[in-house]
Amino acid sequence: MTHQDRVVPLGQPTVGQAELDAIRDVFDSGWLAGAGPTCRQFETELAAACGTAHALATANCGSALHLALQVLDAGPGQEVIVADYTFPATGHAVAWTGATPVFADILPGSWCVDPAAVTAAITPRTAGIIAVDAFGQPAGYAELADIAAAHGLWLIEDAACSVGATYQGRPAGSFGDIAAVSFHGRKGITAGEGGALLTDNPEWAARARRLHTYGTEPAISREGATGLPIPHFAEIGRNYRMSDVAAAIMRVQLTRLPDLLAARNQTAAHYRELLGDVPEIDLPNVIGGRTHSWQSYVPTMAPHIDRDAVAAQLRAEGVQCNFGTYASHLLPVYESASRCPVSADVFARHLAIPMHANLTASQVERVAATLRAAVTNPANRR
Ligand SMILES: Cc1ncc(COP(=O)(O)O)c(C=O)c1O
């Protein structure tokens, strides 16, 4: 029996010979470092796929969020309203700038930030909003853009999980003033680690590019120079670059995106078919006018079900599972005064089950049968 037969993984990348061939090409080129020619090619292709004028490949999504906040001049004394239900990177990026994250509750159904909660959280110190495309479903950008415009705030889209999803026919990554995406190993397309900043604004893109190379233009801008120009270090930046090895993988992954999305959508439909009649769980919904990238598939347990006991039973039977994501305001690091009851409730009742593009129909059937048995097991009631 193989590991694959024994354990159904929660997430799994789809990578193979095409990625290995692309890596070999980068080895042959001699330019393995970051922000090189392969990154440039990937950035052009990613911007086209996401419908933005500019893309900047980064080390990960957290660094893209930090760069976005830096070019929007977020800093001490400011508040940034952050969707509460998210991976802590979203709030952390705000904290890195010295600004204060103020967590806003989410909507039941989409689990994206509630525009009414955003409005209620605005104070004279608010500088901007970060919305999160929860598990790959875009937030309500029409309302959020109206709120931002009415109050003179900027808007960032944390599209870490949503590459390939759409909202009102437009691609995720194209909303707000700046978007940040992730290519971490559990995302829909991946180089193991990686990210990107997306924007239509050429000044922000150019400043972010300098800030991701210690505050100066990347070396490729000096390629072919006959003199010895001294790089101009104008501000303190960091090394937030993606390597050209990772960019080579990402170029292939981007061509796979339609097939990988189709496979995830098929799995989501299969779960619905197999589990739609189980009263102990609510399955995730796709809100009208949006498409989902299904980075995670996260059923909600009914209040009388002991989620942790269900998780233990699934794991014991070889079905990997985990939290959906985190109610940021409850994390010790924030000691936040925010109240986000919807986020707190789903944080306690969500359980992510296997979702990736390599799942077979029989694995999906096994996961569904194991979950059905666990949630209907009288020992797993509160
Ligand atoms: C919503 C969200 N934002 C940001 C991140 C951070 O991404 P990365 O690990 O690429 O920095 C994640 C990671 O899972 C995420 O889910």
How far apart (Å, rounded) are the C-alpha atoms in residues 7 and 319? Answer: 6
Ligand 1 in reach of 60 Cβ (< 6 A): yes
Q: What is the block-wise mean pLDDT of the chain (382 residues), using blocks of 10 residues?
A: 78 98 98 96 98 98 98 98 98 98 97 98 98 98 98 98 98 98 98 98 98 93 87 94 98 98 98 98 97 98 98 98 96 88 98 98 98 98 94
Q: Got the DSSP string for 167-206?
A: ETTEETTSSSSEEEEE--TTSSS-SSS-EEEEES-HHHHH
Do residues 126 and 153 make contact, with C-beta atoms less than 8 angstroms apart?
yes
> Which of 111, 161, 187 to mutate to test ligand 1, by most ligand atoms within 8 A of the CB atom?
161
Ligand 1 in reach of 157 Cβ (< 6 A): no
Per-residue pLDDT, 208: 98
Quote the ligand 1 centre to 262 CA distance (angstroms): 22
Per-residue pLDDT, 2: 60
Per-residue pLDDT, 225: 86
**Closest residue to atom 8 of ligand 1, CA basis:** 61
Ligand 1 in reach of 371 Cβ (< 6 A): no
How far apart (Å, rounded) are the C-alpha atoms in residues 154 and 176? Answer: 7
Quote the ligand 1 centre to 230 CA distance (angstroms): 35
> Per-residue pLDDT tens for 81-123?
999 999 999 999 999 999 999 999 999 999 999 999 999 999 9
**Closest residue to atom 7 of ligand 1, CA basis:** 61
Ligand 1 in reach of 189 Cβ (< 6 A): no
Ligand 1 in reach of 62 Cβ (< 6 A): yes
Q: Is 96 exposed, middle or buried (0-12, 13-18, 19+ CB in 10 A)?
A: middle
Per-residue pLDDT, 224: 84
Per-residue pLDDT, 4: 58
Residue 86 phi/psi, 5-degree rounding, is -165, 165
Ligand 1 in reach of 130 Cβ (< 6 A): no
Quote the ligand 1 centre to 122 CA distance (angstroms): 25
Do residues 64 and 181 make contact, with C-beta atoms less than 8 angstroms apart?
yes
How far apart (Å, rounded) are the C-alpha atoms in residues 61 and 161? Answer: 10
Ligand 1 in reach of 195 Cβ (< 6 A): yes
Do residues 118 and 146 make contact, with C-beta atoms less than 8 angstroms apart?
no
Same fold, 3-10+257-376 and 17-254: no
Q: Is 171 exposed, middle or buried (0-12, 13-18, 19+ CB in 10 A)?
A: buried
17-254, CATH topology level: Aspartate Aminotransferase; domain 2 (3.40.640)
Domain ranges for the chain: 3-10+257-376, 17-254
Ligand 1 in reach of 182 Cβ (< 6 A): yes
Options 3.90.1150.10, 3.40.50.2000, 3.20.20.80, 3.40.630.30; CATH for 3-10+257-376 is: 3.90.1150.10
